[in-house]
Amino acid sequence: MDYKNQVVAALKPVLNEYLSDSEIYEKIEVPKESKLGDLAFPTFTLAKVLRKAPQMIAQDLVEKIDQSDFEKVEVAGPYIDFFLDKQAFGEEVLRTVLDQKSAYGDNDDGQNGNVPIDMSSPNIAKPISMGHLRSTVIGNSLALIMEKNGYHPIKINHLGDWGTQFGKLITAYKLWGSEEDVKADPINKLLEYYVRFHKEDKEKPELDDIARDWFKKLEDGDEEATNLWKWFREVSLQSFKQIYDKLGITFDSYKGEAFYNDKMDEIVQILEDKDLLKESRGAQVVDLEKYNLNPALIKKTDGATLYITRDLAAALYRYRTYNFVQSLYVVGAEQTNHFKQLKAVLKEMGYDWSDDIHHIQFGLITLNGKKLSTRSGRVVLLDEVLNDAVTLAKKQINEKNPDLANADTVAKEVGVGAVVFHDLKNERTNSFDFNLEDVVRFEGETGPYVQYSRARAESILRKADTEVTTDQLKITDANAWDTLKALQEFPSVVQRAAAQYEPSVIAKYALSLAKSFNKYYANSRILADDAEKPARLALVKSVSLVLEESLRLLGVKAPDEM
| Interface map 367-406 toward ligand ARG (x if CB under 6 A) | ----------------------------------------
Closest separation in Å from C-beta 539 to ligand ARG: 44
CA distances from 86 to 275, 322, 364, 408 (A): 66, 46, 44, 43
Residues belonging to the chain = 562
Taking CB under 6 A as the binding criterion, the range among 95-103, 115-123, 225-233, 464-472 that sits at the site for ligand ARG is 115-123
Residue 394 has a CB neighbour count (10 Å cut-off) of 18
Residue 436 has a CB neighbour count (10 Å cut-off) of 18
Q: How do the residues of the chain divide into helix, strand and coil, expressed in percent and rounded to 5?
A: 60, 10, 30
| Phi–psi pair at 446, nearest 5 degrees | -125, 165
The nearer residue to ligand ARG, 331 or 526, going by C-beta atoms, is 331
Taking CB under 6 A as the binding criterion, the range among 118-126, 210-218, 465-473, 539-547 that sits at the site for ligand ARG is 118-126
The nearer residue to ligand ARG, 153 or 160, going by C-beta atoms, is 160
**In whole angstroms, what is the distance from residue 146 CA to residue 110 CA?**
8
The residues pairing with 277 across neighbouring beta strands, listed in sequence order, are 286
Residue 123 binding ligand ARG, by CB under 6 A: yes
**In whole angstroms, what is the distance from residue 527 CA to residue 493 CA?**
30
Residue 405 has a CB neighbour count (10 Å cut-off) of 8
Closest CA to 11 of 77, 57, 54: 57
Closest separation in Å from C-beta 432 to ligand ARG: 20
Residue 120 binding ligand ARG, by CB under 6 A: no
Judged by phi (left if over 0) then psi (alpha if -120 to 50, else beta), residue 118 lies in beta
**In whole angstroms, what is the distance from residue 316 CA to residue 269 CA?**
13
The nearer residue to ligand ARG, 331 or 493, going by C-beta atoms, is 331
| Interface map 500-539 toward ligand ARG (x if CB under 6 A) | ----------------------------------------
The nearer residue to ligand ARG, 118 or 423, going by C-beta atoms, is 118
The number of residues that bind ligand ARG (CB under 6 A) is: 10
Amino acid at 122: P
The nearer residue to ligand ARG, 299 or 310, going by C-beta atoms, is 310
Residue 121 binding ligand ARG, by CB under 6 A: yes
The nearer residue to ligand ARG, 341 or 396, going by C-beta atoms, is 341
The nearer residue to ligand ARG, 311 or 458, going by C-beta atoms, is 311
Taking CB under 6 A as the binding criterion, the range among 119-127, 231-239, 379-387, 447-455 that sits at the site for ligand ARG is 119-127
| Phi–psi pair at 233, nearest 5 degrees | -65, -45
User: Beta strands 39-42 and 327-330: pairing type?
Assistant: unpaired
**Is the Cβ–Cβ distance between 133 and 386 less than 8 Å?**
no
Residue 78 binding ligand ARG, by CB under 6 A: no
Residue 149 binding ligand ARG, by CB under 6 A: no
The nearer residue to ligand ARG, 122 or 167, going by C-beta atoms, is 122
Q: CB nearest ligand ARG: which residue?
A: 160
Taking CB under 6 A as the binding criterion, the range among 114-122, 175-183, 233-241, 424-432 that sits at the site for ligand ARG is 114-122
Residue 326 binding ligand ARG, by CB under 6 A: no
Closest separation in Å from C-beta 307 to ligand ARG: 7
- Residue from 38, 81, 91, 311 touching ligand ARG (CB under 6 A): that is 311
Cβ-based burial of 37 (10 A; exposed 0-12, middle 13-18, buried ≥19): buried
Taking CB under 6 A as the binding criterion, the range among 120-128, 292-300, 432-440, 485-493 that sits at the site for ligand ARG is 120-128
Residue 383 has a CB neighbour count (10 Å cut-off) of 15
Residue 251 binding ligand ARG, by CB under 6 A: no
Which residues, in sequence order, are CB contacts of 352 under 8 Å at separation 6+? Answer: none
Taking CB under 6 A as the binding criterion, the range among 13-21, 69-77, 117-125, 473-481 that sits at the site for ligand ARG is 117-125
Residue 171 binding ligand ARG, by CB under 6 A: no
- Residue from 78, 90, 153, 160 touching ligand ARG (CB under 6 A): that is 160
Residue 409 has a CB neighbour count (10 Å cut-off) of 12
**In whole angstroms, what is the distance from residue 250 CA to residue 155 CA?**
8
Residue 83 has a CB neighbour count (10 Å cut-off) of 17
Taking CB under 6 A as the binding criterion, the range among 116-124, 285-293, 353-361, 365-373 that sits at the site for ligand ARG is 116-124
Give the H or E element holding residue 507: helix 503-523
The nearer residue to ligand ARG, 326 or 446, going by C-beta atoms, is 326
The nearer residue to ligand ARG, 50 or 195, going by C-beta atoms, is 195
Residue 329 binding ligand ARG, by CB under 6 A: yes
Taking CB under 6 A as the binding criterion, the range among 121-129, 177-185, 381-389, 539-547 that sits at the site for ligand ARG is 121-129
Strands (E), 417-551: 432-434
The nearer residue to ligand ARG, 125 or 553, going by C-beta atoms, is 125
The nearer residue to ligand ARG, 329 or 490, going by C-beta atoms, is 329
The nearer residue to ligand ARG, 117 or 473, going by C-beta atoms, is 117
Closest separation in Å from C-beta 131 to ligand ARG: 7
**In whole angstroms, what is the distance from residue 530 CA to residue 538 CA?**
14
**In whole angstroms, what is the distance from residue 157 CA to residue 117 CA?**
8
**Is the Cβ–Cβ distance between 506 and 141 less than 8 Å?**
yes
CA distances from 353 to 84, 143, 159, 170, 266 (A): 44, 20, 24, 39, 18
Closest separation in Å from C-beta 314 to ligand ARG: 6
Three-state secondary structure of 27-57: HCECCCCHHHCCEEEECHHHHHHHCCCHHHH
Cα 284 to chain centroid distance, Å, stands at 37
Residue 423 binding ligand ARG, by CB under 6 A: no
Interface contacts to ligand ARG, rule CB under 6 A: 118, 121-123, 158, 160, 311, 314, 329, 331
